[in-house]
Structure 1
Amino acid sequence: MINGPVQHIASQQNAKVKEWAALLEKKQRDRTGRFILEGVHLIQEALKSGAPVETVVYDAERGLPAELEPLLRSEDGYPCTLVEASAAVMSKCTGTDTPPPVFGIVIKAEADTAQLYGPAALVVVLDGLRDPGNVGTIIRSADAVGASAVVIGRGSVDLYNPKTVRSTMGSLFHLPVIEADLMKLLPEGRERGIRLVGTSLQAEQSCFSYDWNGPTWLLLGNESNGLSAEVSALVDGSVLIPMRGQAESLNVAMAATVLLHEAMRQRHYR
């Protein structure tokens, strides 16, 4: 058995419930430095990675998911506050049509910029991406190839938007994901020897002939308009993903996956 007290909350009018539900809005996430994590898998990944999970709330009718019990078991009790809640509370605090059996309240991690630099740095930089699914998928792809970090520039979708968090499938907790002002960060990267590489349908060099070894930041732009003019002016070079069929272009998340896997191939599977 797991040691420690369990709180019970049934009313949607409970003050804690109102605080949690408010985290569905960006301004409240920014103000409190906290965000909501929905579902068993995401909470598993957060707990395994040592993320600062403050509270775990589960559906009283369905009970605490068995997958989470080993991660919550300790001689000293729960590592976080545990709350048993009504279905109405679960519905109020989550952003999906069908409420998950469990959600968590997590403290935002402080930005760790150390991984952005170094002789083997491979970083994905997002400039103005607005689709949560695209951002989440790119974070998963970066995680899959062992990239150093992902940087989300101002003007992109909020990293802690519940849709973005869900679409990362837990990769959010596997590598640094940093929100930054690109007009400050990119010049600093260049000064420290980082190559800034963009993508362009007009590029003359294929992503397969480009040398991805050495410290590299891959810059990806808005789904409709690509990189902003300000960011494009800082790019050291651009690459093209060759296509033999009739598609005009690839979705930005698909393109990121192709490019990242080519970088991994060159670095580790030559």
Structure 2
Amino acid sequence: MKRIESVKNEQVKNWKKLLTKKGRDKSGQFLLEGFHLIEEALKAKLKFEAILVTNEDKIESQWQIERKKFIIVTEQVLKELSEMDTPQGVVAIVQMPTWPEQIATTGQWLLIDRVQDPGNIGTMIRTAEAAGLTGIVLGEGSVDLYNGKVVRATQGALFHIPIIKGNILELIPKFKAAGIPVFGTALEKASSYTAVESQAQFALIVGNEGQGVEKSILAECDQNIYIPIFGQAESLNVAVASGILMYYLKAIRS
């Protein structure tokens, strides 16, 4: 089994570039850290370049992957590639999933406009997958999908639901043309979400933590909705609000 002991190794230097968006975009690869995420990626049949472990005991016998892809590395090498305070002793180099670039003309979609917090993006992806949505559009200005914190927050959900990067304003007419109602989220000039019936199909747009959904996008929506606040809080966290609205719109009510 191959071993790498120096942080100055050329492969290690190249893999370290995957800690940056530029490096990930250029290579089409990202780093995956931890046993659970690697298992989820294997379930989704993603392509692995290598799995780095600090010793052979870290290799899970049930992982259906060629043994030659495992590389023994020192803890120092693993720390160079880890973003965790307490690394689990395993990091994988994985090809990004490929999804159709064209938006589907059916289904239930979450569209994310300029959300910056990795934890929020990850939680929304995890919730959308759990709710059985058709897919997600990650709008321009949002944090990178393969940011390590985003990947960890999804708990592997990003491998199981189509996620398309696109311009939300340009996609709205396509949803409308397909007969899919488009709901924006706003605090002003909007209706309570309870005024809306559940939908067999929908496109739900949620926005930036501080600024909300871009006004030009809201102007193109079929209807803008909000979640009433009964306490003293000014607003709900965008990931929490998204979860409430996704499940509400999807729910089947007689």
TM-score range, shorter chain: over 0.9
* Partners of 2:134 and 2:101 in 1: CA distance: 10
1:214 paired to 2:200: yes
1:172 paired to 2:158: yes
Q: Deviation string for 1:23-50 (max 9, x for gaps)?
A: 0011111111111111111001000111
Give the match for residue 147 of structure 1.
133
Give the match for residue 30 of structure 1.
25
Structure 1 unmatched runs, 5+: 1-5
Could you say what secondary structure the match of 1:57 adopts? Answer: strand
Contact between 2:54 and 2:74, CA under 8 Å: does it hold in 1?
A: yes
Contact between 1:33 and 1:107, CA under 8 Å: does it hold in 2?
A: yes
Contact between 2:186 and 2:213, CA under 8 Å: does it hold in 1?
A: no
Give the match for residue 145 of structure 2.
159
Runs of 4+ in 1 over 6 A off after TM superposition: none
**RMSD value, Cα:** 1.9
Q: Which amino acid aligns with 2:57?
A: G
Q: Which amino acid aligns with 1:70?
A: Q
* Partners of 2:87 and 2:209 in 1: CA distance: 30
Q: Which amino acid aligns with 1:64?
A: K
Corresponding residue to 2:176 among 178, 190, 202: 190
Give the match for residue 63 of structure 1.
57
Contact between 2:218 and 2:224, CA under 8 Å: does it hold in 1?
A: no
Give the match for residue 42 of structure 2.
47
Distance 1:186 1:115, change over 3 A: closer
1:86 paired to 2:78: no
1:264 paired to 2:250: yes
Contact between 2:18 and 2:29, CA under 8 Å: does it hold in 1?
A: yes
Please report how far the alpha carbon of residue 182 of structure 1 lies from its aligned counterpart in structure 2 after TM superposition. 2.0
* Partners of 1:202 and 1:132 in 2: CA distance: 26
Contact between 2:200 and 2:250, CA under 8 Å: does it hold in 1?
A: no
* Partners of 1:113 and 1:264 in 2: CA distance: 24
Q: Which amino acid aligns with 1:69?
A: S
**TM-score (structure 1 length as normaliser):** 0.88
Q: Which amino acid aligns with 2:63?
A: L
Contact between 2:48 and 2:94, CA under 8 Å: does it hold in 1?
A: yes
Please report how far the alpha carbon of residue 212 of structure 1 lies from its aligned counterpart in structure 2 after TM superposition. 2.9
Could you say what secondary structure the match of 1:88 adopts? Answer: helix
Please report how far the alpha carbon of residue 164 of structure 1 lies from its aligned counterpart in structure 2 after TM superposition. 0.8
Distance 1:107 1:186, change over 3 A: same
* Partners of 1:191 and 1:222 in 2: CA distance: 26
* Partners of 1:29 and 1:204 in 2: CA distance: 39
Residue identity (%): 36
Could you say what secondary structure the match of 2:19 adopts? Answer: coil
Q: Deviation string for 1:73-125 (max 9, x for gaps)?
A: 6xxx44x711111101100012223223111111112232567322xx11110
Aligned residues: 254
Give the match for residue 100 of structure 2.
112
Q: Which amino acid aligns with 2:23?
A: Q
Contact between 1:125 and 1:217, CA under 8 Å: does it hold in 2?
A: yes
Please report how far the alpha carbon of residue 203 of structure 1 lies from its aligned counterpart in structure 2 after TM superposition. 4.7
Could you say what secondary structure the match of 1:83 adopts? Answer: strand
**TM-score (structure 2 length as normaliser):** 0.93
Give the match for residue 87 of structure 2.
99
* Partners of 1:140 and 1:115 in 2: CA distance: 20
Could you say what secondary structure the match of 1:103 adopts? Answer: strand
Please report how far the alpha carbon of residue 127 of structure 1 lies from its aligned counterpart in structure 2 after TM superposition. 0.5
